[in-house]
């Protein structure tokens, strides 16, 4: 018998006695047997989450306002630009203000376009990259799958974000996104993932980024840029 078999047989033996559904503990010390279908009758977070999570409003305008407000609390900068040209100018202004010399990006439509408009030395992670070179970049410029209004988050995968490291190694992560990538809440973000990626494309990493990297480990005092980016900017148009 392999160790796997042993573990599975211990689990099956253990589960021969049913355990009471949560919330029914005080009905007695001895759990009553569950009806066979009651497990599937349990409420699931997957289908019910929206009813309990914080409210988000109904219109796209409300979502954008909420996203901006949440971002402000999280110390993410949000720049809403009128069009692609304006977004590129905003990115250039940011680059000049911070004196960027080198940036990293990937072949994602609007992120690549914006980075190219900077006219700086750049690494493109698409064809593989040298990790030391990526570490020396002043900013990582990426696309994303969606922005989540409810939590002020960015949903990004290896496919939409130029791999695993581009969005976390350089000290400033800039996300270029379109306004119509805004989704209201977390359940919508998960629905979107199932829509976007089939089994063959399914990314090996999906991340939900909520603000720049942070820690409170020293006396519970907030410090940004613990290991990941110290700054996070979202440029939207």
Considering the rule CB under 8 A, would residue 109 count as an interface residue with another protein? Answer: no
Question: Stretches 81-89, 91-99, 125-133, 138-146: which one binds another protein (CB under 8 A)?
Answer: 125-133
Q: How far apart are CA 230 and CA 212, in angstroms?
A: 6
Considering the rule CB under 8 A, would residue 52 count as an interface residue with another protein? Answer: yes
What is the nearest approach in angstroms of another protein to the Cβ of residue 132? 7
Q: How far apart are CA 230 and CA 224, in angstroms?
A: 5
Q: How many binding residues for another protein (CB under 8 A)?
A: 97
Enter the tokens of residue 148.
Answer: 């989540």
Q: Quick one: which of 35, 36, 53, 235 contacts another protein (CB under 8 A)? A: 53
Considering the rule CB under 8 A, would residue 1 count as an interface residue with another protein? Answer: no
Of residues 75 through 94, those in contact with another protein by CB under 8 A are none
Q: Quick one: which of 1, 35, 46, 58 contacts another protein (CB under 8 A)? A: 46
Residue of 157, 129, 127, 131 lying closest to 142 (CA atoms): 157
Q: Quick one: which of 36, 37, 99, 220 contacts another protein (CB under 8 A)? A: 220
Q: Quick one: which of 68, 79, 196, 228 contacts another protein (CB under 8 A)? A: 228
Q: Which is nearer to another protein, 76 or 90 (CB)?
A: 76
Containing H/E element for 182?
A: strand 182-183
What is the nearest approach in angstroms of another protein to the Cβ of residue 64? 17
Place of tokens 């901006």: 68
What is the nearest approach in angstroms of another protein to the Cβ of residue 197? 10
Q: How far apart are CA 234 and CA 72, in angstroms?
A: 11
Question: Stretches 84-92, 97-105, 108-116, 226-234: which one binds another protein (CB under 8 A)?
Answer: 226-234
Q: Which is nearer to another protein, 53 or 84 (CB)?
A: 53
Considering the rule CB under 8 A, would residue 54 count as an interface residue with another protein? Answer: yes
Considering the rule CB under 8 A, would residue 36 count as an interface residue with another protein? Answer: no
Q: How far apart are CA 178 and CA 109, in angstroms?
A: 11
Of residues 150 through 209, those in contact with another protein by CB under 8 A are 150-153, 158-159, 162-165, 168-169, 185-187, 189-191, 193-194, 202-209
Enter the tokens of residue 206.
Answer: 């999906």
Tell me the CA distances in angstroms from 54 to 71, 108, 150, 163, 232, one per residue in order.
16, 32, 7, 31, 24
Burial of 197 (0-12, 13-18, 19+ CB in 10 A): middle
Residue of 184, 180, 170, 149 lying closest to 212 (CA atoms): 170
Question: Stretches 79-87, 97-105, 145-153, 174-182: which one binds another protein (CB under 8 A)?
Answer: 145-153
Whether the CA torsion 76, 105, 144, 170 is positive or negative: it is negative
Enter the tokens of residue 19.
Answer: 């355990």
């Amino acid at each position: 018998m392999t160790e796997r078999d042993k573990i599975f047989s211990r689990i099956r033996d253990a589960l021969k006695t049913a355990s009471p559904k949560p919330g029914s503990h005080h009905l007695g010390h001895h759990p009553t047997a569950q009806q066979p279908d009651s497990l599937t009758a349990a409420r699931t977070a997957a289908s019910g989450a929206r009813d309990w999570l914080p409210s988000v409003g109904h219109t796209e305008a409300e979502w954008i306002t909420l996203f901006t407000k949440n971002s402000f609390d999280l110390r993410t900068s949000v720049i809403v630009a009128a069009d692609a040209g304006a977004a590129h100018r905003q990115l250039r202004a940011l680059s000049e203000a911070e004196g960027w010399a080198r940036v990293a990006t990937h072949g994602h439509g609007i992120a690549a376009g914006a980075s190219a408009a900077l006219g700086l030395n750049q690494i493109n992670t698409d064809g593989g990259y040298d990790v030391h070179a990526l570490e020396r970049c002043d900013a990582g410029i990426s696309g994303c799958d969606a922005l989540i209004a409810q939590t002020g988050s960015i949903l990004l995968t290896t496919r939409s974000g130029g791999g695993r490291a581009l969005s976390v190694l350089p000290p400033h992560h800039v996300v270029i996104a379109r306004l119509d990538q805004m989704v209201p809440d977390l359940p919508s973000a998960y629905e979107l993932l199932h829509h976007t990626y089939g089994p063959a494309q399914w990314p090996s990493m999906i991340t939900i980024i909520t603000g720049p990297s942070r820690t409170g480990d020293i006396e519970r005092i907030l410090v940004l840029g613990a290991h990941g980016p110290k700054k996070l900017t979202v440029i939207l148009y």
